[in-house]
Structure 1
Amino acid sequence: MIISKALKHISITTSIIMAASTVAFAADAGQATGSAVNVRKEANAGADVVGKIETNSEYTVMGKSGDWYQISFDGESVFVSSDYFKLTKTDASVTGSNVNVRKTASALGDTLGKLKEGEQVVVTGQSGDWYQISYNGESAYVSKEYISGELLTKVTGVASVAAENAGQNIENTYGVVSSSTGVKLRKEASLISIVLTVLPYGAEVNIDRVGQEWVRVVTDDGQKGYVSAEFLSIRKGERTTRSNASSKGAEVVSYAKQFIGTPYVWGGTNLTKGVDCSGFVYSVMKNYGITLNRSSYSMVSNGIEVSKSELQAGDLVFFNSGGNSGICHVGIYMGDGNYIHSTDGAAYGVTITALNSGYSANTYVTGRRVLR
């Protein structure tokens, strides 16, 4: 009885030691890199050979101990040297939120879907800065920056499929910021590089060069820099030209002018019965399929910033009450130095005011472009 308990104790202790020295994995697999590769009873070259494995046959990987893989062979747990064995798939987890899954290993690759933070994936290869994964039964690609796993550095390389995009004509492509919180435009393609500005959600940029992790872009004001490929949606075709945007802006202004004289009503959004400043802008733009934040204070985060000298018809203009106070008023720029807005001042309703004189000139803060 005492001997039986002692043997049981030794067995349990041995299991604990093996578990501590071998990293275990759930659904990993690999192949021999040569023919008739020895598999051994223990993880050392002097251990007994218990069989041989052939190339192109896949074996379940149970763990890794030093330079040896622990695999399942004929129903038994054996070891094979990592010099003659390659990992063909391994478990991993997603470390970012809403991570793009792409058809090819390139920022220009079509987006097949998105992965949530913490979601488990099976990595089947790697190509440059991208991991190949199994996605809905097909091969797809995810940036290495957003994938974490114990054996990722050991997984087999795959033929680069980014090559088909490497020479793609980027003259017919442009980028749109896809992150709801915007994206940092950096001086160099590095996370520690100087931040030049923050491009807001929906901002459109011209593409100068596409890399696997970074895209070099040019903003409308000529500023060049790099943004993370994960937060930029690559679009094919031509951007809306300035003249087209201006034409649409003129149409918006023409529509807005028909409501001159509508009374000011705090919180109002009815263009004929009563509107406040943001309610007027909100309702006019809604007529053109553009949904804005409801208050002037939050509306200033919509669209992209434009300098006062670059204002076009249809751009939004924002004001404060003087000094360093917050945004409290908004209108629509008409062109020729005028803007249309709903005011609770002397005019008390929708009216046209000169932008560059008097109270408007003293309280002007910024302009935003929401038309595309």
Structure 2
Amino acid sequence: MKKFISLVSMTALALTLSTSAFAAQGTVERSVNFRSAPSTDSSVYSLLKAGTTFEILDKVNQYWVKANVNGKVGYVSTDYISEKASSSSGATGTVTRSVNFRSEPSTDGKVYGLLSAGTKFQLLEKVNSYWLKIKADGKVGYVSTDYVTTSGTPAPSNPSTSKPDASTADRIIQQAKKLQGVTRYEFGVNKAPNVMDCSAFTKYVFGKEGVELRWGTRYQQDAGKAVSKSNLQKGDLVFFGTSSKNDINHVGIYMGNGQFIHNAPSTDGVTISSLTSGYWKDKYISARRVL
């Protein structure tokens, strides 16, 4: 989904905004549960259908917003909504620590230069929880959310279409391939990029291209929207059950031509496997499209 000297290393962390920054309206893009608390373990008030509009009261974190729906206050997942700024809100920001100003929302994006602490900028778009699209000194580019503060709410990025962004999918696959021979597998570990489990691996490589995923197959299996096996496209997440056909416990990234790349315990690292023959063919359960 969108200043000037030497390179700095960046880690993608969630952007936290104050309640006052959210003078915004939300719109449900895909049906979503309206909950009593910002957790999938909380009680469900109702199911909000696509097209439902509501007032965003607060951005709890990168996963949840506090919402006012017809006078009732609750919480909805950010995965299923879009945000639109109120006409009166102004979106600006300040660099808190020197940060690379890039051509794309990715650590592989060209570095225009380094923005020093104190630099003011216009906030054009919150691409995701990792990246902002900004305008500084007349130039448009991207900065990591970890190094700035903002006020006001920018226009949201365009919602995903039914077809994945091919260029983004290709870049994600290339990011995954770079980890072959680098990443070891260890269940329940997320020490990127050296030691990860399967879902930490997918979270990491998607995050490198500005696409946010939560760590854990239980979360990723509900991300984006469902796609059938016959309609798989590059960049789709593919899920498997190695102990039970009904219990998802493994995830990979579809590469096209019946192949997927994943961080597998059987090979203790990143490998490419077939979805149409061999061991994984019969372990396949489902797929999700997040691009």
Class of the TM-score when normalised by the shorter of the 2 chains: 0.3 to 0.5
Relative to its length, the structure with more helix (as a share) is: 1
**Taking CA–CA contacts closer than 8 Å with sequence separation of 6 or more, which of the two structures ends up with the larger relative contact order?**
2
Greater radius of gyration (CA): 1
| TM-score of the pair, normalised by structure 2 | 0.46
| TM-score of the pair, normalised by structure 1 | 0.37
